[in-house]
Structures are given as structure tokens and as C-alpha cells.
A and B are shown apart, each in its own frame.
Chain A
Amino acid sequence: MPRGLWTTTVGSFPKPPHLERARSQFARGEISAERLNELEREATIEVIRSQEEIGLDILVDGELYRGDMTTYFAERMEGFQISNPVRSYGNRYYRKPVATGPVRRTDAWTVDWWKFAQDQTSKPVKGMLTGPYTMMDWSFNEHYPSREALAMDLAEAIREEAIALVEAGARFIQVDEPAISVRPEELKLAVRALGRAVDGVKAKTITHICYGDFDVIYPALLDLPVDMIDLEMANSRYDLLDRFRQHRFTKEIGYGVLDVHSHRIETKEEVKQGILRGLEFLRPEQMYIDPDCGLKTRTVEEAREKLAVMVAAVREVREERGITA
């Protein structure tokens, strides 16, 4: 019997409203770091329990203790300062890392959180990091002579963290590179930097990439030196499968079947159809089924309902095709 179609998520879960409030209270100095940490731990336990109830195979800690996916890491590194707020769109602002000196990891970033999450469950929990290319692209650079120089130093730091996670027991290490698809001319640089970040990391390595100009970067994308590439399939209506028809997808794939930008809960049938279409071009043991991207922009309820539909669809496909987990 073939095995495959394991279920997982891309990383972030929605922060429950009381945690969002606590984060702003903490920012205004109204509650202590200990109190915030306590609430984050409770919410993390809740996210782990929810993933188990839904029946996912590979879990995440939900990243409830992180704000922005680059600033969280930059704040914990030497060589970075954090800028005053910069606009991303409309009234949305974020603080952006500024590389003002050589960037270095001086302490673990996520190992304690990973251990805490893994202690709550017997299912594997993924170690989740932001990739060197994305960290570089989403930071200001006042120190390094080139984008590559900054990316390679970041890769070194990320590699140290990845190895520390594996030493703590992580079997899956995901190094997200959402920025990779937007500058095809820099794909080679991204491949080099990610290669360094996972070099010698003895775990299944994964990278998540957000939707971009796949006409230009596929199949070169398959050069990314990781075991699994996680892609948004659903929000492009599975258009990517046409590219797989022309050039076989040779790695394992994180196969996104839920549109994370929409409030609408997918039907079991449409998710099933999406998976079945994938099985025309991919082997089940290549496929990990997950949402298109992080779930942090959905509500707690929407995330739960969407994932429940996904797991139900996977169960039906497994049954019909005689695939085991």
C-alpha cells in the first residue's frame, strides 16, 4: 500500500483576540513580560491541542509569540537594529530590521519554544525559521557591501539555530523563503544562501515559498537544496500543475489546498479535487497536504474549520486510493 498525503500547516496560527490585546498591553507597559509569556504558553498549548483534535500529522507551535517574521529574529541577533515604523500598506506599519554591523546569532531564538511545544504532543513538531534570502530582502542594509554578503551571514546564523533545533530533537526543519519568487534574477543567490542555512542539518528540510512568477523560476526552483518545497497551489487554482506536466516536480511538495486570504471555508469536495488533480502528476509519498500559507490572518474559528475540511478530504482520498499515513 502506498503511503503519503501527510497533513501539516505552513507555520503561523491566528493569535486569539485576548493574546492580541495582551501584546498591545505589553507594548504599552501595562503587563509584564512574564504575564505575556504565560498567556503565550497557554495559547500555544491550545494550538497544539487543536491540531491534534483536527488530526494533523505534523504539527507546528503556531508562532503565537512572534510578531513579524523577520523582526522576531533580528531583535534576537547582534548586528541588527529595528527601525521606526514603516508602512506596508494603507494604515499597516511594521518595524523593519536594519543591518548596522556584522549579523550574528549569539543565543537560541526558538529552541525553548520548540521544546515547549514538542513536550505537549507525541506528534512531530516542525522547527520554523525565516530564510536568509527573505531576512535579507526584508531588511534595510547599512553595513554590508552587497545583498549577497548580508544573506550569507544570515545563512550562517540560521544554520546554527537549525542545528540547535535538530540537537533538541526536531525531525523537520522549515526555513521559509516567501521573498524568493519575486526576483527571479536572484534565485541563484537564494539557492546558495538556503544551501548554507541547511548544510549539515540532519532533519527533513522544507522551504515555503509564496506565490510569484513561476513561469520564470520553474523548474530552476527545484535547485533549492531542501527535501521539500511548500507551494501555494489553491490560490492559483492549481495552475502550477501545468508546469509540473511540462517538467516533473522532483522533490517532496508541501501542497497548499486552502486559500488563506479568504474567509470562505472550502468544501471538502473542492479540496479533494485539488488533491486528486495533484495525484495525476505527483506520487502520494511526495505529497504533504497543507494550507497555501500561514493562517495568522484568519480567525481562530476559520483556521480550525478550514483545517478540518482539509483533513476530511485527505481521509477520503486516502481511503479511495488505498493510501496509508
Chain B
Amino acid sequence: MKIETTLSGSFPKLPLEPGAPNVRVVRNRMDQGKSTDRDLADATRETTRRIVALQESAGVDIPVDGQVAWDDEQTYFARGIQGFEIAGLIRYLDTNTYYRQPEIVGPISWTRAVTVEDFRTAQKMAHRPIKAVLPGPYSLYRFSKDRHYRNQEEAAGAVGEALARESKALEEAGAAWIHFEEPWLGRATSSDAPVVRAALEPLFRGRKAKTVLHVPFRSPTGVLDAIRDLTWTALGLDLVEAPDAWSVIPKVPPGRTVALGLVDARNTRLENPSDIAKAVERARSMRSDLTWQLCPTASLEYLPVDRAAMKVSRLTEAARLASGDGG
């Protein structure tokens, strides 16, 4: 039985080969007044093309656009939404990477599509349907500082509404899959359930596209009861950094998909495809009423590009082993 492969968010922007279009170089040159916005747009487009091509040639079934224009996983979206301002750099969870903290300073209101043009650009370059990637509403709320709303549910709900509107715009542009990155679901406990529900419920109202709630780094065990009955298509799990996420699989509602995060997106050590295939087998032996995807544990952005590319190859090789005869 074929297992589909996909990536879990952004991809390194630097080129594998020297001399190829390089957004880092262009941005440094812009700081010196030697490059223009146009140069950056060109480099961004060519980098997206390279990232899409790399996935397609490796055989990724559901590629992503790599989020080349994003500085981190939140602000690119939040910047485009009324009610948000972007503040100083702070540490991203427990890592040595950073993001600019969005601050909610007024009523959150979606007035225009933020990511649809990027989606269209990538889709034109691809032969397969591109999966759109957005911050998950619960995590975007948690990553932000709320200076406006009176209570958490109201704020989280407003963030959820904005992401629902963006999702609708993506659907109308043809997105078949939308991925929501939700690291904070792995940190939520049952007492957070009302806020989690407030953030997520708007997302699934009238949704036509297939959706992934992807939870990197930790297991969403604590809020599973709160999210089980929402109509997401797939739940993404990090089975490397959070082996306890295996215990979530028996509790997933029948008929859903689990995206098995089995390729470590935060370490350069390369996995053995046959080990991954065995882990897929283990998942299949647990449930015959679920569909499976295979993916990295999180976005590959924080690996050196050479390793990220190798990880994509290992991922698709493992999927072929797991899908093949006797796999």
C-alpha cells in the first residue's frame, strides 16, 4: 500500500551549489544598497523553484513551497493581518533560533490574502499539488503577546478566524492541502482545552481543502480529547523527539490520516530508510483503519541545506520501501 510523503513546513533557502540564486546574498547586498526589491523577488522565486524541483525529483508526493520569504514561522502571516504588530526577537521555544514576537494590539481582522500569491507562484512551478503551510492558530496565539483582548478564548478565536479566512482564500486559489504548524499543541494540557478549541474550531467550518495539524517536538497527548472531534484530515506527529506520540495513534478517530514524523528535522544524523520503513510498519500494525503519510518531524529549515536535501531523499526512499512488495 502506497504511503504518501510530504514536508512539514519550511526548507533551507541557501543553494546547494555556489553561484545559484541566493536570497541571503541578495538581502545582504540590499543592506548595502547594492540590490533592489526586484532582485530579492527574483531570488525568492528562483529559490522556490529550486525547492519545489528538489522535492519533485526526490519523489515527494505533496511538496511545499519552502516559505522562502518567511523570516520565521509566524511573522510573515501576522504582519499581513490587521491587529498585529511585530515586536522584538525572542527565542523560539527551547531552541537556539529566534522569531519576532507578534503583538495583538487591536481587533484582529483579515483584510487580504497574505500567502495566496506565493502559493500560486509555487503551484505553477510544480507538477503535483502544493501543500500550503500556515502557522496553526493555537500556536500563533501562544507565540504572540496579547495586549488587546480581555480573555484568552476571545483572542485565540480571533486568530482562528483570521487563519480560517486565509485558508478559504487558499482553497479558492486551488490549494488541496493546508498544513497548520502547531508546536504549542504539544505543550498544552487539558486545562488549555477551551483556548485550543476556541482557536481551532473556526478553521474547520466549511473547510473544503484537506488539513494537517502538525505537532512537532512534543506529543499532543494533553489535548487529544479536545481536538479529536474536529474535522482535520491529518494529525502530524514527531515520533523522534517525542516517542510518547506513538501512544496517540490508538486514539486517532477512524478514517483519519496520521503524518508520521520519522525523519529528524533537528539533527544532521541521517536515518536509515529501512529503519523508517520498519517504524511505518509498526504504525500500520497498530491501526488498519487509518491512512498514513511520512514526513520530517518539523520544518527542515534549521538544518544545513546539504543535509536537508539528503533527508528528503531518505524520506522518499523509506516510503518506497514501506510501500513496496513486502515493504
Report A170-183 CB contacts with B as 1/0, cut-off 8 Å.
00000000010011
Whether a CB of chain B sits under 8 angstroms from the CB of A18 is no
The reply to whether A89 and B268 form a contact with Cβ atoms under 8 Å apart is: no
Residues of A within 8 Å of B28, CB to CB, are 91
Whether a CB of chain A sits under 8 angstroms from the CB of B286 is no
The reply to whether B305 and A89 form a contact with Cβ atoms under 8 Å apart is: no
What is the CB-to-nearest-CB distance from A203 to chain B, in angstroms, rounded to a whole number? Answer: 28
The reply to whether B71 and A90 form a contact with Cβ atoms under 8 Å apart is: yes
Report A50-90 CB contacts with B as 1/0, cut-off 8 Å.
00000000000000000000000000000000011111111
Q: Which residue of the partner chain, among A87, A91, A141, A142, contacts B12 with CB atoms under 8 Å? A: A87
Residues of A within 8 Å of B174, CB to CB, are none
Q: Which residue of the partner chain, among A83, A87, A89, contacts B89 with CB atoms under 8 Å? A: A89
**Contact A88 to B96, CB < 8 A, known contacts A83-B304, A93-B24, A182-B91:** yes
Residues of A within 8 Å of B268, CB to CB, are 83, 98, 140, 142
Whether a CB of chain B sits under 8 angstroms from the CB of A321 is no
**Contact A140 to B269, CB < 8 A, known contacts A87-B13, A183-B94:** yes
Q: Which residue of the partner chain, among A90, A142, A183, contacts B267 with CB atoms under 8 Å? A: A142
Whether a CB of chain B sits under 8 angstroms from the CB of A138 is yes
Assembled-state Cα–Cα distance A96/B95 (Å) = 13
**Contact A138 to B96, CB < 8 A, known contacts A90-B72, A93-B24, A98-B268:** yes
- In the complex, the chain A residue whose C-beta lies closest to that of B95 is A182
- In the complex, the chain B residue whose C-beta lies closest to that of A184 is B94
Report B165-191 CB contacts with A as 1/0, cut-off 8 Å.
000000000000000000000000000
Assembled-state Cα–Cα distance A83/B267 (Å) = 11
The reply to whether A179 and B267 form a contact with Cβ atoms under 8 Å apart is: no
Assembled-state Cα–Cα distance A141/B305 (Å) = 17
The reply to whether B96 and A84 form a contact with Cβ atoms under 8 Å apart is: no
**Contact A89 to B98, CB < 8 A, known contacts A83-B268, A98-B268, A141-B269:** yes
Whether a CB of chain B sits under 8 angstroms from the CB of A21 is no
Question: Among A84, A85, A87, A88, which residue has the most Cβ atoms of chain B within 10 A?
Answer: A87
Assembled-state Cα–Cα distance A89/B74 (Å) = 12
Residues of B within 8 Å of A182, CB to CB, are 91, 93-95
Residues of B within 8 Å of A83, CB to CB, are 268, 304, 307
Whether a CB of chain B sits under 8 angstroms from the CB of A137 is yes
Assembled-state Cα–Cα distance A138/B268 (Å) = 12
Whether a CB of chain B sits under 8 angstroms from the CB of A261 is yes
Residues of A within 8 Å of B99, CB to CB, are 89
Assembled-state Cα–Cα distance A137/B95 (Å) = 8
- In the complex, the chain B residue whose C-beta lies closest to that of A143 is B269
Question: Among B12, B96, B99, B269, which residue has the most Cβ atoms of chain A within 10 A?
Answer: B96
Report B288-310 CB contacts with A as 1/0, cut-off 8 Å.
00000000000001111111000
Question: Among B28, B95, B304, which residue has the most Cβ atoms of chain A within 10 A?
Answer: B304
What is the CB-to-nearest-CB distance from B89 to chain A, in angstroms, rounded to a whole number? Answer: 6
The reply to whether A87 and B97 form a contact with Cβ atoms under 8 Å apart is: yes
Residues of B within 8 Å of A98, CB to CB, are 268
The reply to whether A84 and B305 form a contact with Cβ atoms under 8 Å apart is: yes
Interface residues of A in 19-61 (CB under 8 A from B): none
Assembled-state Cα–Cα distance A120/B267 (Å) = 43
Assembled-state Cα–Cα distance A224/B306 (Å) = 38
Report A291-323 CB contacts with B as 1/0, cut-off 8 Å.
000000000000000000000000000000000
**Contact A140 to B267, CB < 8 A, known contacts A83-B304, A85-B14, A87-B302:** yes
Assembled-state Cα–Cα distance A128/B144 (Å) = 35
List, sorted by A's number, 7 A–B pairs whose CB atoms are closer than 8 Å. Answer: A85-B304, A86-B303, A87-B97, A89-B72, A89-B99, A91-B71, A96-B304
Question: B residues bordering A, Cβ < 8 Å?
Answer: 12-14, 23-24, 27-28, 71-72, 88-89, 91, 93-100, 267-269, 301-307
Question: A residues bordering B, Cβ < 8 Å?
Answer: 83-91, 93, 96, 98, 137-138, 140-142, 179, 182-183, 261
Q: Other than the known A83-B307, A86-B12, A140-B268, what 11 A-B pairs have Cβ atoms closer than 8 Å?
A: A86-B304, A87-B302, A89-B89, A89-B97, A89-B99, A93-B14, A93-B24, A142-B267, A182-B91, A182-B95, A261-B88
